[in-house]
């Protein structure tokens, strides 16, 4: 296995699903690498600094629910198909699909993803949090150590 969260030679991607005060609908981002997940969400969240999910600025005190999902290889295909239908289907479908966007995306993530929030946070707590003050100078080393711990946890769980 190489230095990334790989499955059969393809780097794993992650999605983040968040519910936050001030937002009626869930906030979601997808297609994050493990390093981007750490840089853009996990580290700022744990440092109690602002971060963005779905373009919305969040602070940890605003977040009611935060879920990290490892996407299956099929997720990208389903996600792309869904966006294709949003663009090309008739007016009835074009009205219905956007209204149900978040609901359908959450369903896609449930079907084509695995909730790995606990494993990612445990890896962060064990490998990055103790050296958080040195995060930027040792970023690659810390992310690599957390990633290896994450992968080991996933193997142990039989994933």
Q: What is the pTM of this model?
A: 0.82
User: Quick one: pLDDT at residue 57?
Assistant: 96
Residue 33: how many other CB atoms lie within 10 Å: 17
**How far lies 138's CA from each of 65, 69, 135, 141, in Å?**
29, 26, 5, 5
Q: How many CB atoms lie within 10 A of CB 117?
A: 16
pLDDT tens-digit series, residues 13-64 = 999 999 999 999 899 999 999 999 999 999 999 999 999 999 999 999 999 9
C-alpha atoms less than 13 angstroms from C-alpha of 76 in its C-beta half-sphere: 8
Q: Is the pLDDT of residue 3 over 60?
A: no
The closest of 148, 8, 120 to 74, measured between CA atoms, is: 8
pLDDT number for residue 2: 40
Tokens read off for 39: 């840089």
**CA–CA gap between residue 95 and residue 148 (Å, rounded):** 44
Higher pLDDT, residue 153 or 87: 153
What are the backbone dihedrals phi and psi of residue 92, each rounded to the nearest 5 degrees, phi first?
A: -65, -45
- Model pLDDT for residues 69-110, shown as the tens digit of each residue: 999 989 989 888 887 877 777 666 666 666 788 888 888 888
pLDDT at 4: 47
β-bridge mates for residue 61, sequence order: none
pLDDT at 100 (0 to 100): 80
CB atoms within 10 A of CB 56: 15
């Amino acid at each position: 296995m190489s230095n990334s969260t790989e499955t059969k030679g393809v780097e794993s991607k992650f999605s983040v699903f968040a519910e936050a005060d001030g937002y009626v609908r869930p906030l979601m981002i997808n297609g994050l690498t493990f390093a981007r997940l750490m840089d853009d969400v996990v580290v700022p969240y744990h440092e109690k600094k602002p971060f963005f999910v779905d373009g919305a600025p969040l602070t940890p005190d605003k977040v009611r629910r935060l879920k990290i999902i490892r996407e299956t290889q099929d997720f990208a295909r389903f996600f792309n198909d869904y966006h294709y239908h949003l663009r090309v289907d008739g007016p009835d479908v074009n009205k219905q699909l956007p209204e149900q966007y978040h609901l359908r995306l959450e369903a896609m993530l449930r079907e084509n993803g695995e909730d790995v929030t606990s494993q990612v946070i445990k890896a962060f707590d064990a490998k990055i949090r103790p050296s958080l003050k040195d995060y930027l100078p040792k970023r690659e080393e810390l992310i690599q150590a957390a990633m290896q711990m994450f992968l080991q946890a996933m193997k142990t769980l039989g994933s």
